[in-house]
């Protein structure tokens, strides 16, 4: 994961800092700067054990030259190519852009990437470098902050005879100034800065700045809006991914990584975790119908924070171990063009195609979960900030207790990835490790006795 920043620019908190759906590329695009000043390369290294990360700073000269091999294969190792090959996504955006850009207008593409959406907008207006394309008063500006991506975009535009028809800005959108970088405010915004959680790539702050500084009043936007859906599920598989304390209580090896009374001393990050839920469908019992959580209208300035309470009626009895969520895009104002990240068991328009750049998200319910009887109604409180969505079951979501120990779980908390939690709670794995250690100890003891 690599990030480019000016040497004199402070490192701000990035909305895309740990976007699992776009690997390191999303973060790089969100925080890079394209000026000719000396730059630093912030390379984010992830700890596979804890899921935590640390920054390694690499100096880069003013010409944008980084150490050999730094960029090599970066784009190929992300899921960006998977996104570009998502024909369903591309077709939906093309149809929506063709409808939105029906006349000459000023189009702004934020997070332009390879320039695909910009080229769609330009062709919808008849712009192009070839003699067959007529000239009009329309314009397309592609804003992309990640310098290697900008270089690739320029090559793509030249290959498609679009290099002189699309203005490329190597800047973050919040660095763009009307009257300096663009002549006037844009009539149309086309943008796809979405991760599996919807908000993690900075959708809200990007839209806020765009509406404040870059767009006309009541602009046309593609997408038009996004709706977040959720569903309550029971799943022993998902439970084992986060609750080490109760899981290892059922293991009879006498080893306790999480002491009694300190249930929260080891756990996963309190966030949504992107997962391919279709792959674990047999491990999931659905306890409710899908329900709507949040709606975000791209044509209006969004709020940084929002809360809602959803009353959910159980369709079956069980233990609520997680909330599975996904989103659906409505790309046009008429509601005829959609794209959804829903799992295959949901019969929403466009759902079901496998892709790796967008997944469903899982929010773990603490402990063993919440018991729920069929037809019982439970309240789910959802809240969103600038970059994330969180959930709370009310009124009886379980809470871990700190016990009577002098050391509280909140004082020392080791955060591990869900996969690592599952490994540490796996009885067969623990038994294998324990037997291996016993074998080594016996060998060492025999060797010690031999020399004595």
List the catalytic residues.
192, 201
Cα gap 190→214, rounded to integer Å: 13
How far is residue 424 CA from its own chain's centroid? 26
Q: Specify the DSSP element, H or E, that contains 126.
A: none
Whether residue 251 contacts residue 425, with contact meaning beta carbons closer than 8 Å, is answered with yes
Distance CA 110, CA 207 (A): 10
SS3 assignment, position 261: coil
Contact in structure between 37 and 8 (CB atoms under 8 Å): yes
CB count in 10 Å sphere of residue 29: 29
Q: How far apart are CA 423 and CA 241, in angstroms?
A: 8
- Residue 179 dihedral angles phi and psi, to the nearest 5°: 90, -10
Q: Where are the beta strands (DSSP E) in 185-284?
A: 186-191, 215-222, 225-234, 266-267, 273-275
Q: Is the peptide bond before 395 cis (omega within 30 degrees of 0)?
A: yes
Please answer whether residues 322 and 391 qualify as being in contact, where contact means their C-beta atoms are separated by less than 8 angstroms. Answer: no
Q: Output the six-digit token pair for 372.
A: 């729920």
As given in the structure block, the two tokens for residue 257 are 């990584």
- Residue pair 155/75 in contact (Cβ under 8 Å)? The answer is no
Residue 139 pairs in a beta bridge with: 106
Q: How far apart are CA 361 and CA 274, in angstroms?
A: 4
Helix (H) or strand (E) holding 285: strand 285-286
Cα 226 to Cα 96, 139, 182, 365, 401: the distances in Å are 14, 26, 27, 25, 38
Q: For residue 138, give every residue at least 6 positions away whose Cβ sits within 8 Å of its Cβ, in sequence order, or none.
A: 101, 103, 104, 105, 106, 107, 125, 126, 127
Helix (H, G, I), strand (E, B) or coil at 425: coil
Kindly tell me the burial class for residue 332, based on how many C-beta atoms sit within 10 Å of its own C-beta (0-12, 13-18, 19 or more).
buried
């Amino acid at each position: 994961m690599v990030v480019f920043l000016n040497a004199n620019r402070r490192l701000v908190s990035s909305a895309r800092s740990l976007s699992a759906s776009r690997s390191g590329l999303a973060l790089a695009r969100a925080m890079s700067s394209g000026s000719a000043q000396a730059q630093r390369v912030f390379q984010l290294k992830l700890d596979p054990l804890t899921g935590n990360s640390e920054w390694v700073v690499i100096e880069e000269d003013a010409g944008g030259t980084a150490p050999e091999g730094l960029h090599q294969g970066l784009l190929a190792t992300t899921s960006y190519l998977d996104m570009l090959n998502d024909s369903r996504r591309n077709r939906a955006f093309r149809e929506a852009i063709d409808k939105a850009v029906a006349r000459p207008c000023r189009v702004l593409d934020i997070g332009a990437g390879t320039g695909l959406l910009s080229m769609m907008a330009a062709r919808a207006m008849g712009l192009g470098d070839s003699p067959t394309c007529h000239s009009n008063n329309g314009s397309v500006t592609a804003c992309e902050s990640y310098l290697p991506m900008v270089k690739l975009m320029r090559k793509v535009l030249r290959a498609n005879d679009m290099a002189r028809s699309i203005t490329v800005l190597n800047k973050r959108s919040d660095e763009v100034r009307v009257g300096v970088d663009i002549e006037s405010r844009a009539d149309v915004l086309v943008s796809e800065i979405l991760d599996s959680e919807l908000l993690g790539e900075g959708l809200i702050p990007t839209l806020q700045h765009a509406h404040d500084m870059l767009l006309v009043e009541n602009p046309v936007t593609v997408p038009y809006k996004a709706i977040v859906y959720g569903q309550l599920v029971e799943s022993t598989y998902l439970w084992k991914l986060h609750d080490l304390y109760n899981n290892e209580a059922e293991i009879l090896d006498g080893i306790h990584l999480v002491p009694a009374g300190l249930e929260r001393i080891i756990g996963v990050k309190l966030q949504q975790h992107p997962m391919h839920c279709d792959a674990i469908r047999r491990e999931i019992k659905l306890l409710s119908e899908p329900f709507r959580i949040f709606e975000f209208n791209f044509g209006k300035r969004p709020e940084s924070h929002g809360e809602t309470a959803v009353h959910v009626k159980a369709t079956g009895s069980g233990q609520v171990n997680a909330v599975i969520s996904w989103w659906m895009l409505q790309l046009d104002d008429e509601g005829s063009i959609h794209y959804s990240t829903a799992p295959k068991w949901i019969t929403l328009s466009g759902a079901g195609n496998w892709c790796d750049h967008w997944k469903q998200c899982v929010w773990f319910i603490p402990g063993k979960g919440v018991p729920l009887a069929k037809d019982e109604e439970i309240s789910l409180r959802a809240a969103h900030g600038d970059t994330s969505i969180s959930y709370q079951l009310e009124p009886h979501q379980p809470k871990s207790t700190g016990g009577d120990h002098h050391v509280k779980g909140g004082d020392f908390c080791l955060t591990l990835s869900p996969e690592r939690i599952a490994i540490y709670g796996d009885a067969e794995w623990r038994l294998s490790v324990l037997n291996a250690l016993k074998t080594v100890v016996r060998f060492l003891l025999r060797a010690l006795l031999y020399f004595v």
